[in-house]
């Protein structure tokens, strides 16, 4: 009796196959094509060439029309299998980012933007739509219904759009008006990039398309990223009318002009990861001594410039919960105030466990000694340094490890820019790196992993594991894939930031 596999068993097998294998299997028979199609179309990456997008959209539309003609209006054709659709300049799985001047030559043609708008109507199960290859304003001009087509997707959870300008904002508002009460957005992650040249014109205010989109998405959103928008109105608030509150947003990234700290705290009562890039003077707007204290009750991680971080934590009543800080600007700059001294960090974030920062000019040993003694609970540290002389290399290799000995570091990442072999003596660069790592391993008894990165060097990243036997410290070089590196680093970098309660 011949062996026979049921469709569900075959589908499980096909689910573990590569795209090339699935494509080959789909040509074997109509049955295999039927079973392979959901896996082939689950995630679609388009390189944004006219021929490819027109071919893809035509395939979706023609086959949907064929199914409908056969009295299967509920089938939607092959479009029903698409869960993720991404428009990127992509080769071999990697994104190719082009310069602004090149974008002017990559404007989407009216032919395929209208086809894509139509094809979206046959993708009822689409969960993710991402477009970073084109400014979304360039979609709207030839196809004004594009915004409404996106808003009509019933299961859309993740939406990423770049280049939002006045045209897109108007189209979103128009789409919302057309849909009326039937609109039912369930977005969980929303990433919107405005046009830098239009930042002063795209105000996130009541009546504006972007503001209305945010308002309609507020209940389900978990992650929100906004860049190149202006939030400042004549009254200095986040909106002219009632503020928008996002009760469930855990991650918020706000990169734009004019978001004062008090409306920010009101807008994101549950935020745990905050990435802020704005004018510090805007953060301080309407902050008076009598009402200077605000509350981010769940905040555990904050990213931004030192001044932004310091100002927010200074006024945050729950700053003791903050466990992770990412300082985006240069921490080696001289400042008029003493805010940049490491002791200030420990005062505003006393339970800090993870810190990421960079120094264009390595601070003197006294700074590092104060840094090590003021943050004894640190578990993970990542520091970007520029090595410009043998004296700085010796400071990094021989002196700084001892200054950090009081810390409870378990993982340390050092990124060395301007790295030069001549600063490491006459021995092999790899031998010097071993000695470099060993000096930290011996000085910091709790250290488990050491990551050394040299941007632009052929052996870009070295991972060292420390093995301790009594008083002896041994090195074990690790060979990790990129995914393994990320997983290992994140297991320390985000230590405790996902806990629901602070220990």
**Domains present along the chain, CATH in parentheses:** 34-99+110-127 (no CATH), 326-503 (3.80.10)
Closest CA to 332 of 359, 353, 368, 365: 359
Here the tokens at position 125 are 């199960």
By the 10 Å C-beta count (0-12 exposed, 13-18 middle, 19+ buried), 220 is classed as middle
Residues of the chain with pLDDT under 50: 1-2, 69-71, 73, 90-105, 200-201, 232-242, 286, 288-291, 334, 336-339, 426-430, 500-503
The residue with tokens 């009509």 is 152
* pTM of this prediction exceeds 0.75: yes
Report DSSP letters for 397-420, one per residue.
Answer: IIIHHHHTTTS--SEEEEEEES--
Position 232 scores a pLDDT of 47
Beta bridge partners of 277: 255
- Which pLDDT score, from 0 to 100, does residue 453 have? 86
Q: Is 98 helix (H, G, I), strand (E, B) or coil?
A: coil
What pLDDT does residue 103 have?
39
Q: Report the helix count and the strand count for the chain, using DSSP H and E.
A: 19, 18
Q: Beta 94-95 vs 472-478: how paired, if at all?
A: unpaired
Query: Which run of H or of E encompasses 67?
Result: helix 50-69
Q: Which two tokens stand for residue 327?
A: 């300082």
Report the alpha-carbon distance of residue 194 to residue 296 in Å, rounded: 26
> What confidence score (pLDDT) does residue 140 get?
87
pLDDT at 106: 54
**Rounded distance between C-alpha atoms, residue 474 and residue 447, angstroms:** 12
Dist CA 218 CA 249 (whole Å): 8
Q: In the numeric block, which tokens belong to residue 314?
A: 């200074």
What phi, psi does 494 have (nearest 5°)? -105, 25
- At residue 500, the pLDDT reads 41
Cβ contacts of 208 within 8 Å, gap of 6 or more? 169, 173, 202
User: If DSSP codes are grouped into helix, strand and coil, which group holds residue 344?
Assistant: helix
In 53-116, the DSSP E strands lie at 84-87, 90-91, 94-95
**134, 163 in Cβ contact below 8 A?**
yes
């Amino acid at each position: 009796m011949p062996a026979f596999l049921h469709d569900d068993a075959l589908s499980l097998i096909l689910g573990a196959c590569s795209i090339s294998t699935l494509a080959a299997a789909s040509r074997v028979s109509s049955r295999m094509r039927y079973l392979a199609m959901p896996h082939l179309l689950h995630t679609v990456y388009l390189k944004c060439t006219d021929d490819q997008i027109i071919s893809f959209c035509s395939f979706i539309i023609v086959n949907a029309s064929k199914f409908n003609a056969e009295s299967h209006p509920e089938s939607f054709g092959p479009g029903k299998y698409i869960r993720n659709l991404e428009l990127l300049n992509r080769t071999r799985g990697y994104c190719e980012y082009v310069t602004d001047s090149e974008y002017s030559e990559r404007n989407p043609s009216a032919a395929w933007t209208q086809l894509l708008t139509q094809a979206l109507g046959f993708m009822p199960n689409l969960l993710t739509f991402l477009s970073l290859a084109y400014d979304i304003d360039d979609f709207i001009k030839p196809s004004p219904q594009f915004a409404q087509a996106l808003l009509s997707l019933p299961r859309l959870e993740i939406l990423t759009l770049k280049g939002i300008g006045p045209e897109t904002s108007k189209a979103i508002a128009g789409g919302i008006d057309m849909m009326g009460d039937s609109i039912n957005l369930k977005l969980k992650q929303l990433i919107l990039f405005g046009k830098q040249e239009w930042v002063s014109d795209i105000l996130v205010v009541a009546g504006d398309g972007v503001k209305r989109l945010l308002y309609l998405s507020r209940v389900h959103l978990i992650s929100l990223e906004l860049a190149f928008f202006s939030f400042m109105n004549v009254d200095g608030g986040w909106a002219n009318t009632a503020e928008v509150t996002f009760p469930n947003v855990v991650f918020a990234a706000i990169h734009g002009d004019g978001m004062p700290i008090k409306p920010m705290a009101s807008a994101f009562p549950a935020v745990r990861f905050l990435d802020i890039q704005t004018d510090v003077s805007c953060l301080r707007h309407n902050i008076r001594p009598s009402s200077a204290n605000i509350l981010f009750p769940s905040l555990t991680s904050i990213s931004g410039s030192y001044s932004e971080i310091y100002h927010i934590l200074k006024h945050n009543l729950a700053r003791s919960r903050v466990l992770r800080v990412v300082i985006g600007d240069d921490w080696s700059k001289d400042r008029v105030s003493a805010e940049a001294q490491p002791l200030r960090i420990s005062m505003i974030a006393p339970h800090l466990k993870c810190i990421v920062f960079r120094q264009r000019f390595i601070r003197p040993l006294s700074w590092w000694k104060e840094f090590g003694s003021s943050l004894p609970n640190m578990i993970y540290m990542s520091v970007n340094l520029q090595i410009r002389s043998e004296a700085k290399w010796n400071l990094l290799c021989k002196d700084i490890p001892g200054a950090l000995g009081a810390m409870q570091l378990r993982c340390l990442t050092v990124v060395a820019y301007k790295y030069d072999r001549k600063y490491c003596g006459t021995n092999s660069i790899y031998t010097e790196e071993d000695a470099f790592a060993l000096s930290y391993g011996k000085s910091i008894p709790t250290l488990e992993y050491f990551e050394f990165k040299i941007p632009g060097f052929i052996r870009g990243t070295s991972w060292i594991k420390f093995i301790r036997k009594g008083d002896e410290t041994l090195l074990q070089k690790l060979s990790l894939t990129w995914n393994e590196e990320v997983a290992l680093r994140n297991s320390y970098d985000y230590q405790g930031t996902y806990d629901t309660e602070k220990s």
